[in-house]
Structure formats: structure tokens, C-alpha cells
């Protein structure tokens, strides 16, 4: 695991976007696993800037998102489909048919989970998986549990996740209680994983996930077993990690 500490959120976002753009330049038809949440928004803004500057072409890229709220229509402003359209897809030349998310409106949950696993198989797995980190250590919506979930499943969100996500909704009652999420095994099969963490509020869970025991109670801790993980975090998020496990990069990040 390579852990890079940047001086702030903007610096983190630039470094992450440069890494993603480099992946696309080296493999124009690369399969990106994409994440939602507030943390990757700056990275998506940078990717859009790279595209507008003519530095990256998404026409052959394919994306598979981690998760979607169950019961949420794609045009709902809090759906993850809407988030991706708004922050990335509508601003770049990725063909809409290449963008995949679970269908929140699927009538049959089991069928939707197996459809999504087929999508993952059909695209041939993920080259670069972008991840944020939930306050309780979840990745995608793989919540703390007694075992690591393998494949796409429908999950009951924990109270702490509902609480964390209520900032995006008018009232707590509006926060969905269930979601579809890619499983841990699918995430672990990605060839490269890029984890973004920002803010002091993540410091304790970052320490637990990357320095603590590997346990399904902290789903992100499984990433310690992946051979090719890059963590990029700002100084507050990485403040509880000892200096010997991280590389501090305060130098300006060159633009593409």
C-alpha cells in the first residue's frame, strides 16, 4: 500500500486526477470503477478540466460505479446516477452506454444484483477502482458485518451511514435505508485501487482501516491484502498515521 499525504483537499484532488488521467492515457479503453460521496468531487472536477484542455479522451473508457440507493429514480438529485451525470459524465465524452450503475428502481433485487455482477464480468473487471471511505469504514456500501460480502448485494444501511448521509437530504426520513453495492470480492479483483480520504473526521477510521486488524467490522481493512493500493489523503485525514508509512508530498502538482 502506497500512502501519499497531500497538504489539502485541492492538492489531493489534483494528484488523484493526474493518476486517473495517466491510467486512461496508458490504456484508452480502461475500465474505471467509480465512487460517489463528497470526497471525489474535486477529482472529477480536475478530470473534467483535463478533458476540456484536450489532455484526455473518454471515448473508449467504460465505467462501473460502486453503488446506488435502492428505490431511487436515476433523475432524483440524490441518486448516484444523477451525481455521476452532474459531476462527470455530462461534461466528458464517455459514451452513455459505457456508464454502468445499479438500477435503483429494479423490481427484483436478486435479479438486479446478478445483472450487475454480469456487467462486471462482461466489461472484463476493473482496471482502476476509485474508493472513498465511509465514517464506519465502509467501501461502496459494504457496511461493517460479520463476513466480507463477495458479490453485488442489497444492503440495509447502518444508522451511522444514514446519519452521515442525511446532510444530502432535506430530512433524515428522506435518506434511503437500503442500497445496492458491488461486493468486496469484486472491489478486490480490481487491478489497481485508489482510495481518497479527506478531513479530520476520517483520521480515526483511516488509522483503523490501514493500520488495524483486518476484519469485516472495518470493511476497508481488507484493502491491506490487495497488492496494488494507493491511498491519497490530505494531512488532517492522515494525521494519525505514523510518518514512516506515508510519503508527504507538499510540492506543487504539475497540471496536465
**Residues engaged in binding ligand GLP (CB under 6 A):** 35-39, 66-67, 132-134, 140-141, 161
Identity of the residue, 167 or 170, whose beta carbon is nearer to ligand GLP in the bound complex: 167
Helices (H), 27-137: 41-52, 80-87, 109-123
The CB-of-26 to ligand GLP minimum distance in angstroms stands at 25
Separation CA 219–CA 241 (nearest Å): 18
DSSP type of residue 235: T
Closest-CA residue to 32 (of 92, 115, 111): 92
C-beta separation of 156 from 175 below 8 A: no
Q: Do 172 and 166 meet the contact criterion of CB atoms below 8 Å apart?
A: yes
Rounded distance, CA 211 to CA 208, Å? Answer: 6
Question: How far is it, in rounded angstroms, from Cα 57 to Cα 34?
Answer: 17
Which is catalytic among the residues 18, 65, 103, 136?
136
Judge whether 143 counts as a catalytic residue. Answer: yes
CB of 73 or CB of 199, closer to ligand GLP? 199
DSSP 222: G
Residue 30 or 155: the one with the smaller Cβ distance to ligand GLP is 155
Please say which residue, 35 or 106, places its beta carbon nearer to ligand GLP: 35
Name the active-site residue from 87, 98, 100, 138: 138
Dihedral sign, CA of 50, 46, 187, 36?
A: negative
Q: How far apart are CB 67 and ligand GLP at their closest, in Å?
A: 5
**Is 138 part of the annotated catalytic residue set?**
yes
Q: How far apart are the first and last CA of the chain?
A: 25
Q: Which of 18, 23, 65, 67 is catalytic?
A: 67
Would you call 63 helix, strand, or coil by DSSP? strand
Q: How far is the CB of 38 from ligand GLP (least distance, A)?
A: 3
Q: Would you say 192 or 202 has its CB closer to ligand GLP? A: 202
Catalytic residue ranges? 67, 136, 138, 143
Amino acid at each position: 500500500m502506497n500512502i501519499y499525504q497531500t497538504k489539502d483537499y485541492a492538492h489531493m484532488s489534483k494528484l488523484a486526477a493526474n493518476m486517473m488521467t495517466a491510467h486512461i492515457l496508458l490504456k484508452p479503453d480502461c475500465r474505471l470503477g467509480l465512487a460517489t460521496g463528497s470526497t471525489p468531487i474535486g477529482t472529477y472536477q480536475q478530470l473534467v478540466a483535463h478533458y476540456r484542455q484536450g489532455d484526455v479522451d473518454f471515448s473508449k473508457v467504460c465505467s462501473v460505479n460502486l453503488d446506488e440507493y435502492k428505490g431511487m429514480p436515476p433523475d432524483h438529485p440524490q441518486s448516484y446516477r444523477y451525481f455521476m451525470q452532474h459531476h462527470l459524465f455530462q461534461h466528458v465524452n464517455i459514451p452513455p452506454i459505457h456508464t454502468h450503475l445499479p438500477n435503483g428502481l429494479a423490481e427484483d433485487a436478486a435479479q438486479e444484483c446478478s445483472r450487475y455482477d454480469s456487467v462486471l464480468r462482461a466489461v472484463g473487471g476493473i482496471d482502476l477502482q476509485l474508493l472513498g471511505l465511509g465514517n464506519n469504514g465502509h467501501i461502496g456500501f459494504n457496511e461493517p458485518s460479520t463476513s466480507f460480502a463477495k458479490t453485488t448485494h442489497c444492503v440495509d444501511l447502518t444508522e451511522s451511514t444514514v446519519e452521515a448521509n442525511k446532510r444530502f437530504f432535506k430530512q433524515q426520513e428522506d435518506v434511503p435505508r437500503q442500497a445496492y453495492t458491488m461486493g468486496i470480492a469484486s472491489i478486490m479483483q480490481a487491478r489497481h485501487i485508489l482510495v481518497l480520504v479527506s478531513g479530520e473526521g476520517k483520521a480515526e477510521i483511516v488509522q483503523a482501516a490501514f493500520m488495524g486488524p483486518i476484519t469485516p467490522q472495518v470493511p476497508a481493512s481488507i484493502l491491506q491484502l490487495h497488492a496494488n493500493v494507493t491511498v491519497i489523503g490530505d494531512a488532517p485525514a492522515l494525521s494519525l498515521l505514523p510518518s514512516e508509512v506515508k510519503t508527504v508530498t507538499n510540492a506543487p502538482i504539475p497540471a496536465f
